[in-house]
Amino acid sequence: MRSHGRLRLPAVVASIAFLFSIGGVVTTESSLCPSYVDGSRIGWVQFRIMEIEASLDLYQLEKGALPPTLNALMPEYLKRLRDDAWDNPFVYRITPGAKGYMLYSLGANGIDEFGNEDDITTESKKYTCKQYQERCWTPCEVFKIISYATSLLSSFVLLVLGVLFAIRFIKHRSA
């Protein structure tokens, strides 16, 4: 019978790998990182703009003209009119262009730039990390990546140790 008084290297490595894998799962799912990252505000605002645009188009189709304000859409065409992700109302202007109106969010800076600069529209634009602190590598995201990597690595180590243990066990039984 073997002595259990001393720890063997594979057991120590397996224990450390197990703790890393548990730690990786716990830390990546914890509340250490905010959930509003990677452009989710921008995406939410663009979705709201598309929803309002659909209501505007339906209103125009049924009434023959655009509404004078966004409030005229409620409640028949739009259940309620929310502000954008920065608590600013959406900007709506009737224009002489083909579409007949402009609709956009003032964006993070809250300044009306007529749909340009950092104003949020549904058009293809690049929103920078400096403007929105989004779509950029935050320390939290780096921490999550490191946690996932250590979890993956420790799972791999556990798998290899399990295979080595199984091979050793089979050899020991057959001898």
pTM for the full predicted model: 0.53
Q: Identify the H or E element spanning 94.
A: strand 91-94
Q: Are 78 and 55 in contact (CB under 8 A)?
A: yes
Q: For the segment 19-68, what is each residue's pLDDT rounded down to a tens digit?
A: 555 555 444 444 445 444 345 778 888 889 999 999 999 999 999 999 99
Question: Where do the domains of the chain lie, and which CATH numbers do they carry?
Answer: 40-132 (3.30.700.10)
Where are the alpha helices (H) located in 29-138, listed in sequence order? Answer: 40-63, 129-132
Q: Are 21 and 115 in contact (CB under 8 A)?
A: no
